[in-house]
Structure 1
Amino acid sequence: MLIREAERKDRDQLYELYRMLVPNSRKMNVEEEQIEKVKTDPMNFLLVYDEEGKIFGTLTLNICLQALHGSRPYAIVENIIVHENHRSKNIGQKLLQYVEEYCKSINCHRIMLLSKSTRISAHQFFEREGYDGSISKGFKKYL
């Protein structure tokens, strides 16, 4: 088991995972160049859970600067997905623990994530991992 940053060669496996997250998306476009761009950006991470070359989970971590809490940044987790054939194996938990440890190491103020309102089992998972869905209400505006 290895949690690492995604590489260009992971494109097809990432595409498969994202298709499980948004099966009907017509806008999905996973590009090798964008994977590489994220990898070289020190504030953004596309993490994968890799077992012997097979990717069973992924998430995106963005570190955001702010002025409200001194020099402490905050983090946003997006596009978290575990392969449907490998759920309930603590893969999501390990990915989120990795994120939390990293965020603590750089003195983040908080970690935020959004989840589609209908993904009740995902909400239960996030709550078990210590995320409180009652603190804030999320809003999105697609462009």
Structure 2
Amino acid sequence: MKEDRFMIREAVPEDARPIEELYRLLLPDHPDIEVRPDRIRQISSNPDSFLYVCEEDNVIAGTVHLHLCMDALSGTRPFAVVERVGMKRIFFMPRSAMTEKEVNYLKNTFKMKIQNEKQTIGK
């Protein structure tokens, strides 16, 4: 199995249609789902908002929206809210569907992205 089977990256405007399809799976009764390329551009320019996609074999198969929020509890350290998690299938269940190497790759990739965002905010 190739190591690059899964890739997590920040969404780009060209991802609007596949993200919209994922949201329709997530919220089938929601009447006004509309994912616009210009809105994805706005999100990517917001330093506290991150829209990620997960590609499986170069096809968008999942999305998540991460928001960094200011917090009075921990000095200047923010907390994060994760929402709008949409997937074409469950990636981690059953676990036997993925090799241990693939599971660790996904976990480490997401952890590194979060750590990088924390370092950027601390500057």
Instruction: Decide: shared fold, TM above 0.5.
Output: yes
Q: CA deviation at 1:23?
A: 0.6
1:36 counterpart = 2:77: no
Corresponding residue for residue 133 of structure 1: none
Gaps of 5+ in 2: 1-5
The answer to which of 51-60 and 14-23 deviates more is: 51-60
Q: Deviations over 1:74-95 (max 9, x none)?
A: 0000011211386735699937
- Pairs within 5 Å for 1:90-105: 94=106, 98=110, 100-105=111-116
What is the aligned partner in structure 1 of residue 67 from structure 2?
62
Give the Cα–Cα distance (whole angstroms) in 2 for the partners of residues 78 and 96 of structure 1. 20
Structure 2 equivalent of residue 51 of structure 1: 56
The Cα RMSD (Å) is 2.9
Which structure has more RCO (C-alpha within 8 Å, separation ≥ 6)? 2
Check the 8 A contact 1:9/1:32 in 2, yes or no. Answer: yes
- Could you say which residue in structure 1 is the equivalent of 2:8? 3
In structure 1, list runs of 5 or more residues that go unmatched: 108-143
3-state SS of 2:83 partner: strand
Q: Which has the higher helix share?
A: 2
Cα distance in 1 for residues equivalent to 2:78 and 2:90: 35
Asked whether the equivalents of residues 44 and 61 of structure 1 are also in contact (C-alpha less than 8 Å), the reply is: yes
- TM-score of the superposed pair, with normalisation by structure 1: 0.62
Against the structure 1 CA distance between its residues 56 and 9, is the aligned structure 2 distance closer, same or farther, given a 3 Å change threshold? same
SS of match in other structure, 1:25: coil
